[in-house]
Structure 1
Amino acid sequence: MGPGMRLRAALALLAAPLAFSPSLAQNAAPVAPAAPQAVPAPAPAEYVYVALTVPQGVVTLALDKIHAPLTTANFLKYVDARKMDGAVFYRAMHLDHDPAQGLLQGGVRNGANLLPPVAHEPNSRSGIKHVAGTVSMARFAPGSAQADFLILLSDMPSLDARPGDDGTDPGAGFAAFGHVASGMDVVRTIWSLPRSATKGEGVMKGQILEQDVKIISARRTKAPPAGQ
């Protein structure tokens, strides 16, 4: 099983965000979490914008380089090296208790394009909550995130770190690092595409898109006009 499949298997834990199994560990060694810091006081964020072009349109991400500098820098490494070109959206998770809620997951499938893992930057430190439109890193153990990311279609506070957590499980949460600035209609279109009844294993079964949606290009861009 290649690196992409191992990573996707590990990310099945998102169906039960704080249930971990050592048997799903990736080859890459997790990066030790940074020393815990206080949640930043409310302040204007400084965003770096990235346009993801897919067949359905363009999704523009606003990445918060002030409050989530490590995770933002990691994502931009993939963008600037064009390693995100050809990545795919492959998972549309619809919550069992409310199928109108869930998340869209994508990432780099080509193992040769994967960079070393990034240190875990929990949202107990960044202050970025997992609400509808949030962009966050998928992971297994804290410090194992590489290039798989999530876009939330609904609020999912279960992905937030527990208050006071020092970046270790259980309770480390996921590293939110921005939000969709424009193109949530495109996100929802992809999320609503047919899902396979047979693809995926365990809790992932029934959550995998029948056909992957390729990210044609990922490029830095300007802030979209207000209201888009």
Structure 2
Amino acid sequence: MNQIVRRAVIGAALAVLASTSGLVTSAWGAAGKPRVAIETDKGTIVVELEDKKAPITAANFLSYVDRHRFDGGQFFRANRAKGAPGAGSIQGQPKPYSRRAPPIAHESTLKTGLKHTAGAISMGRDAPGSATADFFICASAQPYLDAKPGKSDAAQGYAVFGKVVQGMDVVKKILAGRTDGATDVPSMKGQILNPPVKIISMKRL
């Protein structure tokens, strides 16, 4: 009798485990996309990466995450849209003097189908194909950053590679920060966070 009871208990436990495991697998399989938690001194932002639509850019970002290059980094810029409170983007970078990998190929939004909607995470760059690790998060839709037909640098737009799935309130909080920091770049005057927002860590979920 004890043996039968024991088997029943073990069987029930295995059934629960299988059921729970199945739910987790099913939930993860439904999304099938890597997520990264960006812990800052203003709160945590969770981004989901489009590793199928923008594989080069997503893999590059994850390589910096996995090597802890963003730990100790910062959000240093808040580019607010004039006359539109809460609109704009915030820009982040690895910790100072962090070694950077070679620039990656540009993944145009015309090819990926991704857009600079509210919550989009995208790569900072100079010329197309020069992006390394700097990234920005859109606090609002910024369609002018999407690629457009044409061969000019501006027409190539920026490379979106994911979106915020948690923590848009933190993005907005960072965007609203004081921005009278010093800069040698005229176009960034009035956009440098003072003080910058610390990136405590980034890790996969």
What is the TM-score normalised by the length of structure 1? Answer: 0.72
Question: Are residues 1:82 and 2:82 paired?
Answer: no
User: What's the offset of the Cα at 1:73?
Assistant: 0.2
Whole-angstrom distance in 1 between the partners of 2:182 and 2:190: 7
What corresponds to 1:196 in structure 2? 180
Counterpart contact for 1:122–1:173, Cα < 8 Å: yes
1:2-42 Cα offsets, whole Å, 9 max, x none, are xxxxxxxxxxxxxxxxxxxxxxxxxxxxxxxxxxxxxxxxx
Matches within 5 A, 1:113-124: 113-124=99-110
Change (3 A) 1:171 1:191: same
User: What's the offset of the Cα at 1:110?
Assistant: 2.4
With 138-147 and 186-195 compared, the bigger mean Cα shift is at 186-195
What corresponds to 1:50 in structure 2? 36
User: What's the offset of the Cα at 1:60?
Assistant: 0.5
Unaligned runs of 5+ in 2: 1-29
1:34-74 Cα offsets, whole Å, 9 max, x none, are xxxxxxxxxx8641100011112211010010100000000
The equivalent position to 1:72 in structure 2, one of 58, 75, 84, is 58
Question: Are residues 1:102 and 2:76 paired?
Answer: no
Counterpart contact for 2:71–2:95, Cα < 8 Å: no
Counterpart contact for 2:50–2:161, Cα < 8 Å: yes
What is the TM-score normalised by the length of structure 2? Answer: 0.80
Whole-angstrom distance in 1 between the partners of 2:88 and 2:112: 22
Matches within 5 A, 1:180-195: 180-195=164-179
Change (3 A) 1:109 1:141: farther
Change (3 A) 1:86 1:99: same
User: Between the two proteins, what is the percent identity of the paired residues?
Assistant: 43
Whole-angstrom distance in 2 between the partners of 1:136 and 1:118: 13
The count of corresponding residues between Structure 1 and Structure 2 is 176
